[in-house]
Chains A and B, each alone.
Chain A
Amino acid sequence: MKSCDTNFAKEVMALSKTTLTRCFSCMTCSSGCQFQHIMDVKPHAIIRMVQTGFREEALQASGPWLCVGCNTCSTNCPNAIDIPAVMDAVRQIAIKENRRIPEPNVNNFHNAVLNSIKRYGRTHKLEIMMRYKLVQRDLFSDMDIGLRMLAKRKLDLRASKVKELPEVKKLFNKAS
């Protein structure tokens, strides 16, 4: 029998500020989730893993990485559990512990966005896409869409910057 981490639920509840012990596994969250079919472990099962202390399994699952936080599940949850907050917490623990990330492309995209915010205080979409593609070593997929967006002037060449940039930068320095 696998060993269970009895503190895991407390850890996730403290981070997510969510009383996930209320979950009775009705699966409403997963059945309404637009992305459950691409998750290896679906939202209700992630919650179950957290409740029962299957820490390793939860931290390795792709589910939290494919959750976009659209709140469809938490709107539908009969027990008013903030499920995306649970997903945030599980994902953040995995990052903190330098776990292997099951969806590296999702993580690379988040990092590209955050680097842009750190650099400019705002998102510079063209640079985000270029840097994301470089990290992915995949320069050519979506090239057609990128070019169409450029032609339609949907991607500015120059970044719009916050004047008081140090104010934003220091948030990142503390975080790291």
Chain B
Amino acid sequence: MKTSAKENNESLKEFFKKININLVELPDWSCCGSSSAHCVDSELAHDLATRNLAIAPPDKPLLVSCPSCTLRLKQAHLHTLHDPELQNRFHEKWGVPFNPNLKIVHYFELLKDIDFHSLSKEIKKPLNGLKFVPYYGCMLARPPEMRHAENYHNLLESILTSLGATALDWGSGSRCCGTFLSVAKPDAITPIVNEIIQNGIDTGADCLITACSMCQLNLEIRCNLKQQIPTLHFSEVLSLAMGTNKYKRWFPRHLVDPTPLLTRLGLID
């Protein structure tokens, strides 16, 4: 998110600033291991994730915005919580005891408690006229050991419609974007991505809105349809509604230009 999806990172911080929540980057964070670590070495994946838990301030929630990082960190925490041996391993490796009370939260968990209707003064640019399909990718799917935790189906739709946008129903919102196969098997991923985008177009949407940076990138780089619609980061749209003027740094970074659409709707100048 610091590089390939800088626009997501910046717009998320901008949005939280607008609603008076100050996000501080975890100093010296390291990669959670991503898909590659657990694919080839589960122990390494666990340790890469726990380093971040060890350096997190014990008294503050660790807010994560990447769905995949969230899963890796939460799972490592859950496994350690239920296994005294892993707690010893944690202490030995990182020199601090495992903190069973550390709160790891995806930013959805913060948003769900915000009453957007009461924020009407903050909403400088209602999203009126924006017809979108929500694209969650795999972010709402979880391993069975976490299936009873709270879930966030419909969060994109409910928040964005309360900000004036129109959510359309479709069937591709939870279809995986292909993650690393987009690099390793691009020919297999293009038809899948094309079908997702085409379904969005056929539904009548102006754009897809996603909360995952990797999904956003894969949908943009692997789609080769003649007619395409842009995929916006959820955070960009939230910031736009709050009347941000920082968007000039974000939208030029998209491979499928969303500015004609956003200009037409009067959301940007």
Contacts and interface: CB of A to CB of B under 8 A. Distances in A.
Interface in B89-117: 94
B46 to A, nearest CB: 10
A175 B41 contact: yes
A91 B183 contact: no
Contacts, number: 151
B30 A38 contact: no
Interface stretch (A5-13, A45-53, A101-109): A101-109
A119 to B, nearest CB: 11
Given A70-B179, A71-B141, A106 B184 contact: yes
A70 B40 contact: no
Nearest to A115: B36
B42 A92 contact: yes
Interface of A: 15, 34-35, 38, 66, 68-72, 74-75, 77, 80-82, 84-85, 88-89, 91-92, 95, 103, 105-111, 113-114, 117, 121-123, 125, 129, 132, 141-142, 145, 148-149, 152-156, 160, 162-164, 167-168, 171-172, 175
Interface string B19-36: 000000000111101111
B178 A149 contact: no
B176 interface: yes
Interface of B: 2-6, 28-31, 33-44, 47-48, 51, 71, 94, 137-138, 141-145, 147, 174-176, 178-181, 183-186, 188, 192, 217, 221, 252-255
Most chain-B CB neighbours within 10 Å: which of A84, A148, A156, A167?
Answer: A167
B36 A69 contact: no
Nearest to B140: A75
B185 A106 contact: yes
